[in-house]
A and B are shown apart, each in its own frame.
Chain A
């Protein structure tokens, strides 16, 4: 398979020194002693393609990029993982999908172009959205997750509402697409290139129709996918921006006014926004501009932040739980009253873990999404 070879070349996996730094910082390896990114890289290099492609551990990686960060040889491990999964999928290998694969099935259903979705119910009367416009708000899977995870106490659709509220506050009436599709992030990372491409192509065409020049995201995964993955395969002729970046710019221009909030909070850097895209300061800038709000950092923050334990609805496991517990403890230890998150999946995963361990106080901390928090703070 040429593509695995080229993936080795592109990721520079052949430079591996076998120092094991990747494994020692890997959150999965910390709990799952059988998982070692180093071993996987070297199996990729040394043994037959079949050996690596049928290895179950290629699905266990969270692609949180902690290893990428620490690798002295600068190997793009997560890129290699992505490529490996794409190849493995061709052999019929698959990850163990969480929730029985419901999320993946949903995404694949969305590849059908002639679906007439009804996903705009959340747009309340006091929110202004348009069909066309210069700025487009990409909602992502929020309405679907809202149905799937309401029982966890996570109402993801509030993110969409808050995002639009913020945009309206700034005088922007964003375009929202009623036939928007999933960005394909999860399919891409679980090795389904074909359906990913279908979704991507559909979305890009739809966005073109709206005439948008800028697409705003509240979801870090969608943002990463549009920013890094789409351009690899398609021409993307619009600007993409995460809402925290937009907020930061607005704050710098003095356009946002917040009420005082006397609270101590801590903030989770999602892998996609943080290590994948290097955005650490924008959300902090936004939070720090709310008066009296005190942001305490966790022991590991910014580029050292620990992942929420699951990615792409795959391989949620014994180990995911332990990673989540670890992170929640760290958040709790800061003494913060509120755990501010900026990825809907982080919220789902952390709340899931808290709900499961209801008896334990050492991990219990209320969570809120950055956008909803900020939207509430607007005056």
Chain B
């Protein structure tokens, strides 16, 4: 029994270990009072959370929003995403495509809600952020202050490491600053979020270029994270590319624009490519006063990697898009570009990425006139300086890393973000940051580096349990009118207001299991928790405060009983319950309750019945002891359970 504990078992009791443990054992948690979730059937996460590369606990923060607890929502987001304001604006939000409401109407505006809570913080002033306690003597160097770098810095500093970010440019933010135009991502937002991370105790060295990794190790850094991004545009590789002036790499173009230069690149612009950079470039060009902006993309709109919304906005602003066309040759005159010959394409079989491969249609060439061509086909990292550090480089000029651990071929050197994957999304970069931080931590502590595999989406069907019959239209954030956008780099999309945010968050079907917030354990000081199996039959449990809940021993003791390895476990508050069928309304419970938590109420037939107010009940169980019929009982302390305990003792 309790007195024969083995000292060796885990006693950390920290949230994550509890959850890890529970997950491992196939145990899930339900806390009806706080999250009115469904009983948990299997261990799954909601599909949105699974879809999120960073694993943001979306349902949880949506739940917090519905309760109007925006601060808590922010905390939940920040647990996994240190850049909510940024993500709330530029995230490609794969979560929304997985949203189960999307299966019958518009998905939730998760991204907009995230932005809302981030902006809420900005507007109302963030809580004073205290620097994290330094608990570990090791230092980590992070090269690059883009989202990947910032995320890993954030995680590592919270773990107690000393973290230094080296940034080549004078401002931190990487591609966030240089690549994304301010009308989508205002600079103050980026700054604020970086500031928040810095406040945690991260050292940020701008204007510092890192050339030699070994130097960093010499300076005492135990690990290095290369998050240098992909800032070098790829060549078009068509005839004429190098002959004429007026062919610009869009990254360079955007960097200039984003730095505040407002020079018009030309009048008629062609942007080649279909990604967000292409759209950003095109829309920026319009804002710079270019009269005509074309986008040439070799596949159809369906395959276009840019955000659907962005494409729509671009079209609305006047960008013309030529689908199914690919450049063949640059045409110029007098060293100046005058146009581009394209060929029409058709879509063939899908390729590895699942998109249908474009095939040129013979003799379908046509010419588009232009004076500037912005190439936005892809980028790669500036990697040359690391080539001789003993780090392996792929044939695409990216770092070669272990996919799971992100460690490069050089021990202690990790790499992530665009520098590994090539140009990708902010949220992927954040995810890489997390992974890197986790791996670095384990590397420094000398633990094996492997990380658990990412969970799969188990439930994809709309089950009646999760289907809310009430339909509600997705709220669209307001935008500034198109006519005002010309020559303005002001932010286009506006934040939701509070009412809107709550209304939108309420559309959440709360699918999947509980919010997994373990808020219950953290918040509840008044009550204690016990864990019981489904019907409370196979008893287990814990009577004690969450901190000394010693879940692991107790649960494992229980779980090892009779092969019950994957028992379903709930966390329930200890309160009195009254069975209506058994209660004869004698009122004895009422008379002994010191808290007036149990009251005898009159029924239609004039006779009475006891009723417990669970919110007031403190769980002393005195009512149960005076109840003559056994109608009143304390959860987890039922007479039957105690009798069983006794019988077990006497064998």
Contacts and interface: CB of A to CB of B under 8 A. Distances in A.
Contact of A317 (B605, B607, B631): B631
A325 B625 CA distance: 25
B357 interface: no
Interface string A336-354: 0000000000000000110
A98, A315, A321, A353 pick with most chain B CB within 10 angstroms: A321
A96 interface: yes
Interface in A37-94: none
Given A97-B630, A98-B628, A98-B630, A317 B639 contact: no
A99 B628 contact: yes
B643 A318 contact: no
Contacts of B607: 321-322, 325, 357
A101 B629 contact: no
Interface residues of B, number: 18
Contact of B585 (A99, A101, A321): A321
Contacts of B587: 356
A352 B588 CA distance: 11
Contact of B582 (A99, A317, A352, A353): A317
B583 A318 contact: yes
A321 B639 contact: no
A98 B585 CA distance: 14
Contacts of B605: 322
B215 interface: no
B585 A317 contact: no
Given A321-B585, A356-B586, A96 B628 contact: no
B609 interface: yes
Contacts of A319: 581
A100 B630 contact: yes
B287 interface: no
Given A356-B586, A356-B587, A317 B643 contact: no
Given A101-B639, A325-B607, A96 B629 contact: yes
B550 interface: no
Given A316-B629, A321-B607, A322-B607, A96 B582 contact: yes
A320 interface: yes
B403 interface: no
B329 interface: no
B642 to A, nearest CB: 9
B455 to A, nearest CB: 38
Contacts of B586: 352, 355-356
Interface string B580-614: 11111111000000000000000001010100000
A62 to B, nearest CB: 14
A32 B581 CA distance: 9
Contact of B628 (A318, A352, A357): A352
Contacts of B581: 32, 317-319
Contacts of B639: 100-101
B643 to A, nearest CB: 7
B244 to A, nearest CB: 88
Given A101-B643, A352-B586, A356-B585, A318 B580 contact: yes
Nearest to A32: B581
B630 A318 contact: no
A357 B583 CA distance: 14
Contacts of A322: 605, 607
Nearest to A94: B640
A96 B585 contact: no
B584 A320 contact: yes
Interface string A307-337: 0000000011111111001000000000000
A356 B584 contact: yes
Contacts of A357: 607
B628 A317 contact: no
Contacts of B629: 96, 98, 315-317, 320
Contacts of A318: 580-585, 609, 631
Nearest to B600: A356
A97, A353, A356 pick with most chain B CB within 10 angstroms: A356
B585, B607, B643 pick with most chain A CB within 10 angstroms: B607
A316 B584 contact: yes
B584 A96 contact: no
Contacts of B580: 318
Interface string A117-156: 0000000000000000000000000000000000000000
B16 to A, nearest CB: 41
A321 B630 contact: no
A76 B629 CA distance: 28
Contacts of B584: 316-318, 320-321, 353, 356
A12 B609 CA distance: 39
B609 A316 contact: no
Interface in B625-651: 625, 628-631, 639, 643
B604 to A, nearest CB: 12
A97 B580 CA distance: 16
A55 to B, nearest CB: 15
Contacts of A355: 586
A356 B588 CA distance: 8
Contacts of A98: 628-630
Contacts of B625: 100
Contacts of B609: 318
A92 to B, nearest CB: 11
Contacts of A317: 581-584, 629, 631
Contacts of A353: 584
A85 to B, nearest CB: 18
Interface string B4-40: 0000000000000000000000000000000000000
Interface in A260-295: none
A245 to B, nearest CB: 33
Interface in A146-190: none
A352 B585 CA distance: 11
Nearest to A96: B630
Given A96-B582, A322-B607, A325-B607, A316 B643 contact: no
A316 B628 contact: yes
A96 to B, nearest CB: 5
Contacts of A97: 630
A375 to B, nearest CB: 29
A109 B428 CA distance: 70
A316 B632 CA distance: 12
Nearest to B631: A317
A356 B586 CA distance: 5
Contacts of B643: 101
Nearest to A320: B584
B423 to A, nearest CB: 64
B415 to A, nearest CB: 62
Contacts of A325: 607
A99 B607 CA distance: 21
B648 to A, nearest CB: 14
A248 B631 CA distance: 43
A150 to B, nearest CB: 14
A325 B585 CA distance: 12
A356 B639 CA distance: 23
B29 to A, nearest CB: 30
A298 to B, nearest CB: 20
B581, B625, B643 pick with most chain A CB within 10 angstroms: B581
Nearest to A310: B629
A248 B336 CA distance: 133
A32, A100, A321, A357 pick with most chain B CB within 10 angstroms: A100
Contacts of B628: 98-99, 316, 352
A317 B643 CA distance: 21
Interface of A: 32, 96-101, 315-322, 325, 352-353, 355-357
Top 4 A-B pairs, shortest CB-CB distance: A321-B584, A356-B586, A316-B629, A317-B582
Given A32-B581, A315-B629, A319-B581, 14 more contacts: A98-B629, A101-B639, A101-B643, A316-B584, A317-B581, A317-B582, A317-B583, A317-B629, A318-B582, A318-B583, A318-B584, A318-B609, A352-B586, A356-B587
5 contacts: A96-B629, A100-B639, A318-B581, A318-B585, A322-B607
